[in-house]
A and B are shown apart, each in its own frame.
Chain A
């Protein structure tokens, strides 16, 4: 594969990562985009410069299609959230909670620090670092799948998707912003209340962080049709 082919492939992959729906549905759009990119790359400038940012290209391509969606109901969103929370807690229990419990049983972690030997201190430091990953794991569980697939496991089970207001998949920054309050679940009710206050009169009741991130949580009602 020469350099130009490689650049085209990378660009197509980046556009594809923003298009919603399955690979099959967006295949036609990408197949038609390829010869356009092959022509654009002959100018010897980067495709980002001649064709535009892949995220913008995905938005523009999506404007040539049609698909129906409706905003996800509160019930579906809360149910999906409870499923996701359950999954995270089971994971943390198995991989963090139980090891910590066993370590406590083994080393009696409530002893005075002066009573620990070097290897025990090392193990404790490792455990502290390990349990600090709770935050990263919990956060990543939402951010990574929502960016890559528009869905967490809970959302997939309930048939709902996160999307940008233009309809494309969300970017990394949007995934982080819309999930920032999940760091402390006590913020969630406040998020919904604030979201309702901001969008009062709007049929789409979204969390405040959804409004901030310009994202929507929806259910697709139809396949994507090229116009």
Chain B
């Protein structure tokens, strides 16, 4: 007898695997242009059509962590009293490698899914 699957289960799993793409998306966005934290969340939300929705303040520890790792840097805009973030050179090199890693991984996953469908 089939057990009843919790209807929230798909949403929870979905949130879990999408969460892993938040940091790569931040780096990809900053590669195109430097940006402020909240603007970054809006841009990522728009680009992914809401699939990756980083709540306003949740981006701060992510940016702080990546800054500590040397992937991004920040400068304070005195006129606007805001902190603006941009990719460092190391961050750009890292992103290039990361993009290939993600691409290879997703290609493999998609091929497995397509095999199952046939």
Interface residues in chain A, defined as those with a beta carbon under 8 Å from any beta carbon in chain B: 31-32, 34-36, 39-40, 50-52, 56-57, 60-61, 63-64, 227
Contact = CB atoms under 8 A, between A and B. Distances in A.
Given A34-B81, A36-B38, A40-B38, A227 B68 contact: yes
A36 B55 CA distance: 12
Contacts of A52: 55-58
Given A36-B36, A36-B56, A40-B56, A63 B81 contact: no
Interface residues of chain B: helix, strand, loop or mixed (majority): helix
Interface of B: 36-39, 55-58, 60-61, 63-64, 67-68, 80-83
Contacts of B82: 32, 35-36
A31 B68 CA distance: 22
B56 A227 contact: no
Nearest to B38: A36
A53 B74 CA distance: 25
9 contacts: A36-B38, A36-B82, A40-B56, A52-B56, A52-B58, A56-B55, A60-B60, A63-B64, A227-B67
A35 B37 CA distance: 10
Contacts of B58: 52, 56, 60
Given A36-B37, A52-B56, A52-B57, A31 B64 contact: no
Nearest to A58: B57
Contacts of A40: 38, 56
A186 B41 CA distance: 52
